[in-house]
A and B are shown apart, each in its own frame.
Chain A
Amino acid sequence: MTSTPADPALTADHLSKRYRGGGPLALDGVTMTVPTGSITAVVGPNGAGKSTLIRTWMGFERPTAGRVTVTGIDPWRHRPEAVARIGYVPQAASLYRDLTVADHLAMAVTLRHGFERSVAVERLRSLGIGPSRRASELSGGQQAQLGLAIALATRAPVLLLDEPLASLDPLARREFLSVLVAAVRADGHTAFLSSHIVTDVEEACERLVVLSAGHVLLDADVAEARAAHRVVPVAAPSAAPPTPWDVAGFTGPGDTRLVLSRTSDPTVGRAASLEEIVLGYLSSGRASGADAAPWAA
């Protein structure tokens, strides 16, 4: 039950999750390791299993098969110990609408041993979020910042953020991520966040996981993924025969047809953006029913 510094921040080992007997698998044999000190984004469409993965690490969901750990601790068997190592920003509005910002911080003090209210107060003050304002009076961006401030003030070594950017406008998303990155860098935390929005996490995250229909399609370092993929414009889906290193074809801007290839050969097409890499892998998952994960690292 005890964790050691050598333990990775988060692991999933052949993790499967089925919510109802006979129903589809929300997660199907997911295996991954999130290194300590990294910022990792998991992206994928609705129903991909992103929230289920995070909630399993939180000890909210019991794995149907496989195992997960948080700094070496099984969160289902030892939830209090695991939760004590996590700063969690839940999906959407999980704030108490009628409580003030100060009330939320007071509640956090009563719930979490070692919660540093002053850290949260200072962070919120710098963002212009006053302690007497009710949660219902805050904008979506401010609510997200309050959730993040609470998570950061736990001083937990691992931050799990479930779709924190979903309801934010572009400016608020940028502000949120800059606060997150600065805090993680300063404190040496590990952060794992889920998102639909690839472009926003591109600058903030150093690792990327593409999840679709419960399968990991890509789990790679962002820089390495960029270096290892090229996109090739094609006239039509059948214009060029697929090569072994082709991931999948997909539709790019202006209805252009593109093929994502796993190659670093500069003579092949052009460099792929992170969004194109994600689109390529999601298309491959859709085409194969997510049975194949050809390029998963």
Chain B
Amino acid sequence: MPSRRAKTRTNARLPALAAGVVATLAGVTALTRWLVGTAALGSMLPGTASMRPSTALTFVLAGASVCLAGSGASVMSRGARRVMEACAGAAALMGFLTLLDYASGWDLGIDQLLPGGSRVRMAPATALNFVLVGLALLWEADGRRDPRPAQALALAATLVALLAVIGYAYETQAISGAPPRMALPTGLAFCVLCAGILLLRADQGFIAVVGSDSAGGVMARRVLPVAIAAPVVLGWLRLAGQHAGFYGTERGLAMFAVCNIALLVAVVAWTAGSLRRADRDRRRVEEALTASERRARQLTEASLDGIVVADDEGRIILFNPAAERTFGYTAAEVLGEPLTCLMPPEFHEPHRAGLRRFVETRVARLVGRTVEVAGRRKDGARFPLELSLGALEVGGRVQFIGTIRDVSERDRMHAAMIQSEKLASIGLLTAGVAHEINNPLAYVANNLAVLERDTRGVMAVLDAYEGARERLAAADPATAARVRKLAEEIDLPYVRGNLDRLLGRTREGVERVTRLVQAMRGMARSGPPQMETIGLADLVDMSLEMIRSRLQRRGITVECDCTGVPKLRCATSQVSQVLLNLLVNALQAIEAAGRPEGGRIRIASRAVGREILIEVADNGCGIAPQDLPHVFDPFFTTKAVGDGTGLGLSITHGIVAGHGGRLEVSSEPGKGSCFRVFLPLSSGGAS
């Protein structure tokens, strides 16, 4: 996979290649010139030496070596590397032998290698430079080595070459008798060649800073040209002025120094100014960044929603306090752990697959959306949550930001609200029906009483006739026979015996309907109930008093723990009805279970937050799981027909809801049930 570093390198190799080509061409041109022997092409400047043939030949070798390094891949093929090493080695050897030649005073006749070569050796400085350049290129043959030695060698060679070039600029002619000097073209060619070597790996070693976009790079790019060019130009001007006779050596030097100082100071001041601005901008950016970071942290810490950030492997790297509260883990416990520890097991595999898919293909299914999924708390409890998932790239890697909202409370409230609304609407309907039934019921009950009374009257009359039957039979046998026949047809003795039972049953039925209608009317109370502040123990006593005899008859013990509970503001009669309903239910459940060892009802109460919890638990028959969701529904009853209206718990629920509280139930069939009433401490009153 390509890295940034490698990219810089390929970009920088083209100039290196160009420099190599130029150096080679310089050598080739000089050789050609020498071979053709054209005097016109003798030297670059009139009166200066031209490149010697041996030098030209060596340049061709060195230039070819740079070309090879600059054109190939970062790691060269073995063959190319061999050729490059051979060229570089030859160039270094050439220089070394020439130096040896000078030092020993022997004449090895290197210049004789070329056909028709004159006895003109390359200058010592040139030979030295070829040694330096050759060694540098030999080092660079392996592109993986530290580039600094090669760059140091190339820089040294540049300095030697510059000495010659600048010397030519300042001197008009060579001092006769001095050792041979490096020719001007040779010096320039060396400058180009060394530049090529430095550019081979411009992004590494000493010169990397020059090309970098850092403050150091900016400074280097600004100061270096001035630092190199200024002394050269100023020195030339100074010499020129001196030769023209404007000033003497001492004065000229002073002016040179002053001008140098002024120029360098100016460049440094300019650079320092812009660096300071850059620095100030950077600090401002840093401050903004810090502020932004702090703001982001604050937002994360203060957020009411849980925020979890994970890396591209699904490991948690941020876990805010709300998430700690939601999941029950501390941040320290989960940082670095996989996200799966926050999910129920069945989500693990889809999560891993989704994560892999997104990281590899960036195809989002959940990212950028809000979904309802399930979470897993530290204690293993499962809960519904709302998840908004986002992704961002940091340093080429994906991070996931999940915003999590625990919706179990919302779901519970929603369910409770639906239940309340259902009960309220059913309650209204029921109350309306009850009112409609009331009128006919009133006269049905009445008429029944009338019927009973009048039937008794009729029977008395009949009895009186019965007494006179004998005399009637004697006086009017035909009528007596007709009476007897009619009596037989309707089975008079049975009718007389059955009449009381018939009327009694009917009256009982009507009474039951009446009770039912009255209970139904209770479901939609009108007018605000009387609110009082009362201790719970008094309320419980009030309710217990009403069924104490029934409890005693059944041998049911009642434990009551209502101490230390704050007083309650409520509609006393209603709340005592709630307790009474729950007690009656408990009693009936115990009767149904038939506990010969004795039933037990436990009433416990405590403050829970801003609510009071009243528990009424029994060891009765319990409620079947399939019935549990319906116990608060109106007319739902499991009691025998006629034993219950199915409205008790419904009314109880309505009263509790009217007080701004809630009613919950849990039950284990065969073991008992527990009803929990939650009432707010400062009830806003029934609505």
Physical interaction between A and B: no
